[in-house]
Structure 1
Amino acid sequence: MAALVGALVVLSGCGQPTHTGDVAQQGYQSGDGSTRTWAVADRKGPLELKGTDYEGTAQDVSAWRGDVVVLNTWYANCPPCRAEAPDLVALADDYAPKGVHVLGINHTDDAGDAQSFQTKFAVPYPSIDDTDGSAIAALEGIVPINAVPTTIVLDRSGRVAARLLGVVQPSTLRSMVDELVAEPAPTPAS
């Protein structure tokens, strides 16, 4: 059954485009909008994810331990990524005072395309240039990325608490973030 569900997710529409020469074939693999959450006892991690953003600044999610982190895989020509961008921008703006961090992960675009997207949508958070695949590989070790966009929400301990495949529904994502913000902060290791 799990294999059938996985096959349906892969066949259902925006992921990485396939390229023939310089022409992008519009072969998207999109998520089905499904969500998965993990109970505190079942969460994997903490996630170790580092990279450099398109402005040349090092990003490391471990620096945000103690805060909730939202990770979003995207690329500039992905229609679902463009559709959800305003909602992710609003979430980043609204939740920054609560200590919530948003980090994009782009496995496809060069700096010019990615920065153009960030400017067009007034994206206030950084995105890792992941053309080498290291950030996606770090995620795959903890939670499968079956589509682009995929949104992962980390709890205050840096563990994967939720995954959303496809375009985020703002109310669903905000509810998940609210629940995690309300969880008690982890106690420091002795």
Structure 2
Amino acid sequence: MRPSTPRPASLAALLVVLAALVAGCSGIGTEGSTGGYVSGSRFVTFVDPEDRDQAPVLAGDDLDGQPLSTEDLAGRTVVVNVWGSWCPPCRAEAPVLNEVSEQYADQGVRFVGLVVRDNIDAARAFERRFETPYPSIMDEGGRMQLGFAQSLPSQAIPTTWVIDAEGRVAARIVDPELRASTLAGVIDDVLASTPGPSNGGVEGGDG
């Protein structure tokens, strides 16, 4: 058996993620179309349903030490936001994320944060300051962030992904001046594009 060798695509994706982590906060977005991806604006990349890749499972303890896994959110639309307490755009968009997370809670949409390049005390202080209503996981070394490398890799911090109810990466937002209307519009598009039972009709607790 020949020894396995790294796939060029994986190496390239890793370099993209590492570059984003080194650069820290950034406002670089995406323009135009790439393959099956259709970009609605400079900052939003929307993936046609037939071209979507499965999202990685995000799992770990939240900032209160409680276990959290996106596997438990199967059948729901999930919004994943990468942030750090040290990042000015993250602080600026926190009220937007809070507002939209509460706006869509009754529709079964769930939000999860990934905390990068931070320490738990600073992250907890950030959540207290902004009264964040959804949980976050410490992403040591950006390993969970790297899980999006084969679908829509992170290009900056903050980055927000929307995962559809079938567990596929449907959209990415990299916008240094994120507005509630932008995020809500992307969520609406993802909800409308995913066939089957509505997210609000998922059985089994609040999730």
TM-score band by shorter chain is 0.7 to 0.9
Residue 144 of structure 2 is matched in structure 1 by: 135
User: Is contact 2:47–2:170 with CA below 8 Å preserved after alignment?
Assistant: yes
Residue 177 of structure 1 is matched in structure 2 by: 187
Residue 91 of structure 2 is matched in structure 1 by: 82
User: Is contact 2:79–2:112 with CA below 8 Å preserved after alignment?
Assistant: yes
Residue 31 of structure 1 is matched in structure 2 by: 27
Change in CA separation of 1:92 and 1:66 when aligned onto 2, cut-off 3 Å = same
RMSD, aligned CA: 2.3
Change in CA separation of 1:29 and 1:112 when aligned onto 2, cut-off 3 Å = closer
Equivalent position SS for 2:95: helix
Q: Does 1:164 align with 2:160?
A: no
Residue type of the alignment partner of 1:51? G
Deviations for 1:7-57, whole angstroms, at most 9, x for unmatched residues?
xx99xxxx54x6xxxxxxxx6440335110000000011432222211112
The structural deviation recorded for 1:117 is 0.3
Equivalent position SS for 1:92: helix
User: Is contact 1:35–1:165 with CA below 8 Å preserved after alignment?
Assistant: yes
Structure 1: gaps spanning 5 or more residues: 1-8, 19-26
Residue 117 of structure 1 is matched in structure 2 by: 126
TM-score scaled by structure 2? 0.73
Mapped partners of 1:169, 1:108: distance in 2:
24
Aligned length: 167
Q: Does 1:53 align with 2:62?
A: yes
Residue 40 of structure 2 is matched in structure 1 by: none
The structural deviation recorded for 1:77 is 1.5
Query: Greater CA deviation, 59-68 or 147-156?
Result: 59-68
The structural deviation recorded for 1:90 is 0.4
Change in CA separation of 1:41 and 1:184 when aligned onto 2, cut-off 3 Å = same
Residue 5 of structure 1 is matched in structure 2 by: none
The structural deviation recorded for 1:95 is 0.8
Residue type of the alignment partner of 2:79? V
Change in CA separation of 1:81 and 1:46 when aligned onto 2, cut-off 3 Å = closer
The structural deviation recorded for 1:111 is 1.1
User: Is contact 2:55–2:147 with CA below 8 Å preserved after alignment?
Assistant: no
Mapped partners of 2:116, 2:146: distance in 1:
11
Mapped partners of 2:128, 2:174: distance in 1:
25
Equivalent position SS for 2:189: helix
Residue 114 of structure 2 is matched in structure 1 by: 105
Runs of 4+ in 1 over 6 A off after TM superposition: none
Deviations for 1:48-105, whole angstroms, at most 9, x for unmatched residues?
2222211112221122121110000000010100010000000111111110000010
Query: Greater CA deviation, 45-54 or 119-128?
Result: 45-54
TM-score scaled by structure 1? 0.79
Mapped partners of 1:125, 1:71: distance in 2:
11
Residue 154 of structure 1 is matched in structure 2 by: 163
